[in-house]
């Protein structure tokens, strides 16, 4: 009879709980199921949602493998998997079931089973069960995932760009085009200029937003904002609403995008939006961070407040479409990358992100 397959450990970025440092450790991936694939991760971004797992914003189980924004190559496929070995893929952190009410209603981003914050999968080198971020745990040399959690993309697409399509870019582009529906000449405000906010700026520019006002806490993001296509850059403060009104014929913005994930910035976006305008919440906040709005203002301002989950997108349809836009030269996500680093350097990328420095750090493997 055949010898049992040896499960060679792979290296991954692991969090062992509150107070513990982020460390690269060997982990054991689960055996490949019939509809699963093994992916050699070639590029993985560090997203604020990963930071939210470890900084107290969320309370995930641990030990936890971080990472959910990645691309790579399929190196093994179970007998019933629909994706072949050698295929270049983007990982999907919210693969829809295609069977629930929301999927049937044309809203796969709201799928009842997709987008779970963590899942049990694999083990530490000494056999302790592991959890993985958003079903992926993509800050690792390799992952084992269901075939519905990978999206084939053209092999010409650079891995670092492909990785960003899987979270920041799909989120930002979808928020602008699918959730808000920005039209040419409408004014737009984007608060928070990390990978998600800068993707939102790029998409709003492509949609013809004008003026396109980008906001962050310090001047450090000014150049990135202007090169992503913002017409104006503002440092956030108490007078944000009046500064935005000064640029929008005193009305306030037609569209505001909150790309931080905090009640204070949701309120700032709300106040800076015109009567009848739309506020789109893109950032993922904490469950106890309450947003308070005056009832009279909700009535009188006639604004719409909505959220955008994974860009209100169907990743299986929209990621390949974004890949073609990149290859056609119509979209340049590489402009979001401020740091290209190794897996060993990934803890420092979390530290930079918590200080609000840079935009995307991408780990190349």
Interface residues toward ligand APR, by CB under 6 A: 47-49, 52, 171, 191-197, 215-217, 221, 236, 259-261, 264-265, 282-284, 353, 356
Q: Is 127 left (phi over 0), alpha (psi -120 to 50) or beta?
A: left
Burial 18-45 (b: 16+ CB within 10 A, else e): eeeebebbebbbeebeeebbbbebbbbb
CB of 163 to ligand APR, least distance (A): 13
Minimum CB–partner distance for residue 353 and Zn ion (Å): 11
- Of 102, 130, 103, nearest to 118 by C-alpha is 130
Nearest position to Zn ion, beta carbon: 47
Indicate the residue among 95 and 192 with the shorter CB distance to ligand APR: 192
Taking the least distance from each CB to ligand APR, the nearer of 29 and 272 is 272
> Which CB atom, from 59 or from 85, has the smaller least distance to ligand APR?
59
CB 275 within 8 A of CB 303: yes
Query: Is the preceding omega at residue 274 within 30 degrees of 0, hence cis?
Result: no
Nearest to 102 by CA among 309, 318, 322, 321: 309
Backbone angles phi, psi at 42, to 5 degrees: -110, -25
The CA distance from 200 to 205, in Å, is 8
DSSP string covering 326-337: HHTTS--GGGGE
**For residue 58, what are its two tokens?**
């969320």
Beta pairing, strands 337-341 & 10-15? unpaired
Choice between 35 and 357, CB closer to Zn ion: 357
Residue 29 interacting with Zn ion (CB under 5 A) = no
**Contact (Cβ atoms closer than 8 angstroms) between residue 91 and residue 138:** yes
Q: Retrieve residue 65's tokens.
A: 């493998």
Total residues contacting Zn ion by CB under 5 A comes to 3
Binding status of residue 49 toward Zn ion by CB under 5 A: yes
Is the CB of 145 or the CB of 353 nearer to ligand APR? 353
- CB of residue 108 vs Zn ion: minimum separation in angstroms? 17
Shortest Å, Cβ 99 to ligand APR: 26
CB nearer to ligand APR: give 7 or 263: 263
Nearer to ligand APR, 37 or 272 (CB): 272
**57 binds Zn ion, rule: CB under 5 A:** no
Query: Is residue 167 at the binding interface for Zn ion, with CB under 5 A as the rule?
Result: yes
Q: How far apart are CA 138 and CA 164, in angstroms?
A: 12
Which partner in Zn ion, ligand APR, none is near 67 (CB below 5 to 8 A by kind)? none
The least CB distance from residue 130 to ligand APR, in Å, is 22
Q: Residue 132, interface with Zn ion (CB under 5 A)?
A: no
Contact 50, 68 (CB under 8 A): yes
Residues in 238-257 that interact with Zn ion by CB under 5 A = none
Q: For binding to Zn ion (CB under 5 A), which residues are involved?
A: 47, 49, 167
């Amino acid at each position: 009879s055949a010898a049992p397959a040896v499960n060679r450990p792979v290296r991954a970025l692991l969090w062992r709980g509150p107070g513990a440092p982020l460390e690269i450790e060997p982990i054991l991936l689960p055996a490949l199921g019939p509809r699963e694939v093994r992916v050699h991760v070639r590029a993985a971004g560090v997203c604020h949602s990963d930071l939210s797992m470890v900084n107290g914003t969320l309370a995930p189980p641990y030990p936890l493998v971080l990472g959910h924004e990645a691309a790579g190559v399929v190196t093994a496929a179970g007998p019933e998997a629909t994706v072949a070995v050698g295929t270049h893929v983007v990982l999907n952190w919210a693969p829809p079931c295609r069977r629930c009410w929301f999927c049937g209603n044309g809203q796969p981003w709201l799928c009842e089973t997709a987008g779970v914050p963590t899942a049990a999968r694999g083990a530490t080198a000494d056999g302790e069960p592991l959890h993985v971020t958003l079903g992926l745990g993509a800050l690792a040399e390799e992952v084992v995932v269901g075939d519905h959690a990978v999206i084939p993309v053209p092999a010409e697409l650079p891995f670092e760009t492909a990785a960003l399509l899987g979270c920041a870019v799909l989120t930002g582009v979808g928020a602008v085009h699918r959730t808000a529906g920005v039209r040419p000449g409408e004014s737009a405000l984007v608060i928070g200029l990390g990978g998600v906010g800068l993707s939102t700026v790029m998409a709003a520019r492509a949609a013809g937003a004008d003026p396109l006002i980008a906001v962050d806490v310090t001047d450090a993001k000014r150049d990135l904002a202007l090169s992503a296509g913002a017409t104006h850059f503002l440092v956030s403060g108490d007078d944000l609403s009046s500064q935005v009104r000064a640029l929008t014929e005193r009305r306030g913005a037609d569209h505001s995008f909150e790309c931080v994930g905090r009640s204070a910035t949701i309120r700032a976006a709300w106040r800076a939006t015109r009567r009848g305008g739309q506020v789109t919440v893109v950032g993922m906040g904490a469950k106890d961070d309450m947003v308070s709005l005056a009832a009279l203002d909700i009535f009188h301002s006639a604004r719409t407040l909505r959220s955008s989950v994974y860009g209100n997108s169907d990743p299986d349809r929209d990621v390949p479409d974004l890949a073609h836009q990149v290859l056609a030269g119509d979209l340049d996500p590489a402009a979001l990358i401020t740091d290209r680093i190794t897996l060993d350097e990934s803890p420092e990328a979390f530290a930079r992100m918590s200080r609000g420095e840079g935009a995307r750090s991408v780990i190349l493997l």
